Copies of this chain bind each other. A is one copy, B any other.
């Protein structure tokens, strides 16, 4: 692998069946963008879609667009487009609100299901990872504090602890499928099975897996899932998120954000709430239509390939990056954080380095955009729809050059947002 040349990478790109999909995106010149796991690139189609939506649907057709342009149905229509990417059925996904808010709905519903069950009513523990994306933990804290019924979090420090952590006190296991820092990929099927064996329910956050790795929610018998549309799904900055509720749980999916979009008859203006049947009960209020429409442009590219092809290329890209960096930067204090094992790796590669923040800034200066995550992680996301093998080569070369020449400012002050 390390004997590979830049020319070999160009040849890999030429042979890559996904290579033409890069044309769907508008990418900056002279930039190697390895941060699609933070904000996905802009699909070219999104500009035309926004223009059409703003000038015609909003400007000319105005309120008729709620029906005529399908605005009102957009959360479920987009959910159905997204479903195949995560192993979900039609009528099980809506695109709506933010990941945090969807997680709130799922946690609230799951805790209620447990509280109302005969056998599990006294379970009071939510198991999650200390390294989970913080907002997931914060949302669980918010619910626990509000319910004030003795719920508590159990934060584990490694996936191996799940086996002992999940027990008769566990109401809920809440995990992010791919860790945002390390890129660790949980075995969804095994963890869900373990969770169910111990009588708990399992919520998966797919923020770093939807569109990045193969996800089979129904096959894994997962209970609930949420995820983000602005990372690997390229739905635009802050795009509305998604929530998945399998058919078997939909009737019990009750959450306190019971707004009119989740009502059985939203336009009857009845003075009391009756949840609608099906996945739309996960909706709350009116959705931001312009941002929502961008999500469809991101999903369109996925229709031209399969998650299996995407996953194959993702592993090839991350394998290559790991090999190149480890070979070329072996004399520097760079250590791989992301699992080497394919089955445990998402679509990112994280390396630790004592001056990670400064090195990431130097990389950005040189046109290689990854990002920094506390406390010492250089994080690189690989998005098979637009990342080329030659990009991987060049990024590794530039990283080596920066480290060899110590061409980074150690005292660099950290920005608020990296």
Which residues of chain A have a CB within 8 Å of any CB of chain B? 26-28, 33, 35, 38-39, 41-42, 46-47, 50-51, 54-55, 57-63, 65-67, 71-72, 97-101, 104, 108, 130, 132, 134-135, 137-139, 141-143, 145-147, 155, 228, 230, 236-241, 255-260, 263, 267-273, 284-292, 294, 369, 371, 373-374, 415-418
Contacts and interface: CB of A to CB of B under 8 A. Distances in A.
A98 B42 CA distance: 25
Contact of A99 (B57, B108, B147, B285): B285
B63 A42 contact: no
Contacts of A132: 271
A255 B100 CA distance: 13
Given A98-B259, A100-B284, A35 B51 contact: no
Contacts of A47: 51, 54-55, 59
A373 B267 CA distance: 9
A258 B138 contact: yes
A268 B372 CA distance: 12
B271 A137 contact: yes
Given A28-B60, A50-B50, A141-B272, 9 more contacts: A67-B416, A135-B285, A137-B272, A147-B147, A228-B286, A238-B288, A238-B289, A288-B288, A288-B291
Given A142-B258, A256-B143, A418-B267, A101 B101 contact: yes
Give 9 closest A-B pairs by Cβ, nearest first: A98-B285, A100-B285, A288-B291, A100-B259, A142-B258, A146-B256, A135-B260, A237-B289, A42-B59
A42 B54 contact: yes
B99 A286 contact: yes
A215 B146 CA distance: 32
A269 to B, nearest CB: 5
A208 to B, nearest CB: 14
A164 B84 CA distance: 56
Nearest to A38: B63
**Which has the most chain B C-beta neighbours within 10 Å: A39, A255, A288?**
A288
Contacts of A39: 58, 62-63, 66
B142 A373 contact: no
Contacts of A271: 130, 132, 134, 137, 155
A260 to B, nearest CB: 4
A369 B101 CA distance: 35
A371 B263 CA distance: 21
A371 B260 CA distance: 18
Contacts of A268: 374
Contacts of A417: 66-67, 72, 267
Given A416-B67, A418-B267, A255 B142 contact: yes
